[in-house]
Homo-oligomer: A and B are copies of this chain.
Amino acid sequence: MVNLTMLTDFYQLTMMDGYLKSDKKDEIMIFDMFYRKNPNDGGYTIVCGINEVIDYIENLKFEEEDIQYLKSLNTFDEEFLQYLRDFKFDGEIYAVEEGTIMFPNEPIIRVKAKAMQAQLVETTILCIINFQTLIATKASRICYSAMGDSVMEFGLRRAQAPDAGLYGAKAAVIGGCIGTSNVLAGQKFDIPVLGTHAHSWIQSFDTELDAFRAYAKAYPTKTVLLLDTYDTLNSGIRNAITVFNELREQGYEPLGVRIDSGDLEFLSKEIRKILDSAGFENVKITASNDLDENTITSLKNQGAQIDIWGVGTKMITSFDWAALGGVYKLCAVVRDGQMIPKIKISEDPNKINNPGYKNIYRIYDKNDNKAKADLIVLDEEVINENEPLTIFDPIHTWKKMTFEDFYVKKLLLPLFIDGKCVREKRDIKDIKRYTDEEKESFWIQYRRNKNPQIYKVDLSKKLWNMKNDLLENRNIL
């Protein structure tokens, strides 16, 4: 990743300059990055992008050409420009592990740093986490709909610019895909790259049969043929069978066929019959064409004979829910060594943030190791696993739940301390494995695509009191 220091909102710079001028330069601020609503009205998200946040923070540096550009705007004075020349992030960042399943209003990243530093990094952290988390979550939904079938990420050509293709492919694999068509993503993240040929290959030959033969000759051990360039049933599958038989005579077994248009339910069943009766029971059928979790569920319900799903546009853009909407909100400042909680008030209660320097405990049942609820707490709070733990709903406070045979896991873990990265970047295979374990740790009621059960996220008594005090005593105006 290149230096993204200048990839920020202009108001971060004007605020930084303002802090410098108002002598708040060294005041410590604490921000939470969280989101308010699960994409597609689903039950959860899969956090993705932590590795890139590490890269971003480690490479923070204003180059002299950046300074000269900012100078040219005639907004900033030399004092501020010199501050930027010397800029170094020396704060603290806590974050969940990449691949963790998270819920609305839970801090995913917590930044504690000098005002100017904490402010600068807002935009880029949001840009990275919002997108990758969105796509990992979408991929997870799509893979869930495929019920164990393989799903391939094919969306690069429709991605929202090159980075979206690259990091979207990474996120899709973490979310559950077996690989991507994106060669750069394969190279950069060491994830499987997949693909065979396009309609143009078929069209470029005089006949479809010539095209199939040429492909089989080039890749005799990896022959997958695209059937729908001219006419799937009257031409494509017939020519494919001819070439598959020729391959077999040469001692090779064909791998598969792909269909990219037409009615996938009907065509896949017809193709399956033709393949089976020609003795190619092991040839897999891949389908693509504007698929998403809804279409896949619908096709599976009708018994479509599709073994592998190629998903493009609708996954790489999260077409029907194109932004996560994560935010980065001030929740405390440290003044004279004292932590002062901060709150943003809104008429819309959903937009009021949780104040204070916080962490999250995930509560697991000791008997089945399934997650039961999350509890957002003030960072200093410790949970004694040997005593019963009672939590309550933050709105309907009479709704209580007590855990006896449980253990807890703290979710926000150190990422940067005093500006130094304290966590190793994990490779994508590790993150993918961890994500699979995360999914297993939740009952499927929380993971289904439509109308999932709402997972319980409560506030500790201490935090709830702090929030209520701030809302009742608004001497902040």
Contacts and interface: CB of A to CB of B under 8 A. Distances in A.
A168 B160 contact: yes
Contacts of A10: 181-183, 186, 193-195
A166 B127 CA distance: 11
Interface stretch (A101-109, A314-322, A398-406, A435-443): A314-322
B9 A322 contact: no
Interface residues of A, number: 112
A193 B11 CA distance: 9
B4 A160 contact: no
Interface string A304-342: 000000000100011110111110111001000000001
Contact of A7 (B6, B166, B194, B201): B166
A140 interface: no
A127 B158 CA distance: 6
A318 B329 contact: no
Nearest to A20: B218
In the assembly, how many copies of this chain are there? Answer: 2
A54 interface: no
A11 B194 CA distance: 7
A70 to B, nearest CB: 8
A345 B261 contact: no
Contacts of A75: 219, 222
A157 B318 contact: no
B131 A160 contact: yes
B21 A217 contact: yes
Contacts of A235: 477
A85 interface: no
Interface in A225-281: 228-231, 234-235, 239, 261-262
A78 to B, nearest CB: 15
Interface stretch (A115-123, A363-371, A382-390, A421-429): A115-123
6 contacts: A7-B165, A119-B198, A126-B157, A127-B157, A127-B159, A131-B161
Closest 7 CB pairs of A and B: A11-B195, A163-B163, A161-B163, A10-B195, A126-B157, A160-B160, A322-B322
Given A123-B157, A157-B328, 9 more contacts: A8-B156, A11-B195, A18-B215, A29-B200, A123-B156, A199-B344, A230-B476, A230-B477, A234-B477
